[in-house]
């Protein structure tokens, strides 16, 4: 149950949720795999965006591969994705949704598994640092999604309790990670993952993108946390 006076908040995944980058990551991974001689279909890559790099590579490449390549594949993805940093754009309604959450008295925490440089580029695109309570990056988590470490770090950074918090994310890995901490997740379609898949993973609600969530805010789990 809610504790009177205790902080309530929202943990936002960033890539694909607040920044329109899921397909940019897909293409960057596709090129990175190709550079090392691996032919991995984009359709397989896209469904795993949001998962940590090590887990993503494990899912897509044979178990008996030469794992000495893994780090260089991850580095190549990072370099290829960085080309897009100057052109990164928020998803529809993302900025307005973040500001609405803050106006409603919710602590707003960005919970990203990306490295600090990528998160800095995304924060520049969002330009909402004035409403953020905290920001977490890959350095704050020992293990990446679907492990819950990044959300656990975000809860601590925001001074939040699981029962007083909701996660907003676009990938099934957001939902899985949040559930392991007992945090409800609102799923968004802005990363290209279907409502059926997000609900099947355990999302309590689904909206097409941040704009759709903003328009339905008063009846959403976010409003119930703010109440």
Residue in 164, 151, 158, 163 with CA at minimum distance from that of residue 226? 164
Q: Give the full edge-to-edge strand order of the sheet including 184-188.
A: 134-136, 107-111, 9-12, 165-169, 184-188, 205-207
Residue in 46, 118, 77 with CA at minimum distance from that of residue 126? 118
At residue 167, does pLDDT exceed 80?
Answer: yes
Please, what is the angle between helix 116-126 and helix 94-103, to 10°?
A: 80
Confirm whether pTM is higher than 0.85: yes
Task: Calculate the dihedral angle through the C-alpha atoms of 152, 157, 161, 166, rounding to the nearest 10 degrees.
Answer: -70
* Per-residue pLDDT band at 3 (split at 50, 70, 90): low
Mean pLDDT of 8-37: 97
Structure tokens belonging to residue 165? 């918090």
At residue 154, does pLDDT exceed 50?
Answer: yes
Decide which of 123 and 5 is more confident.
123
- The per-residue pLDDT for range 52-76, each reduced to its tens digit, is 899 999 999 999 999 999 999 999 9
**Residue entry with tokens 């350095």:** 139
């Amino acid at each position: 149950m809610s504790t009177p006076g205790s902080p309530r908040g929202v943990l936002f995944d960033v890539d694909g949720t607040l920044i329109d980058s899921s397909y940019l990551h897909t293409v960057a991974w596709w090129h990175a795999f190709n550079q090392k001689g691996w032919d991995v279909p984009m359709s397989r890559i896209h469904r795993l965006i949001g998962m940590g790099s090590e887990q993503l590579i494990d899912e897509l490449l044979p178990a008996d591969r030469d794992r000495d390549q893994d780090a260089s594949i991850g580095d190549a993805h990072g370099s290829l994705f960085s080309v897009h940093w100057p052109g990164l754009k928020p998803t529809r309604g993302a900025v307005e949704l973040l500001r609405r959450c803050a106006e409603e008295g919710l602590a707003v925490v960005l919970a990203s598994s990306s490295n600090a440089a990528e998160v800095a580029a995304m924060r520049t695109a969002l330009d909402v640092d004035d409403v953020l309570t905290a920001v977490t990056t890959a350095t704050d988590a020992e293990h990446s999604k679907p492990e819950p470490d990044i959300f656990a770090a975000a809860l601590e950074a925001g001074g939040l309790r699981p029962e007083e918090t909701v996660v907003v994310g676009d990938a099934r890995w957001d939902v899985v990670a949040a559930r392991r901490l007992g945090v409800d997740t609102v799923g968004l379609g802005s990363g290209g993952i279907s409502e059926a898949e997000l609900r099947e993973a355990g999302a309590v609600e689904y909206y097409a993108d941040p704009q759709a969530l903003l328009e339905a805010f008063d009846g959403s789990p976010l409003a119930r946390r703010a109440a």
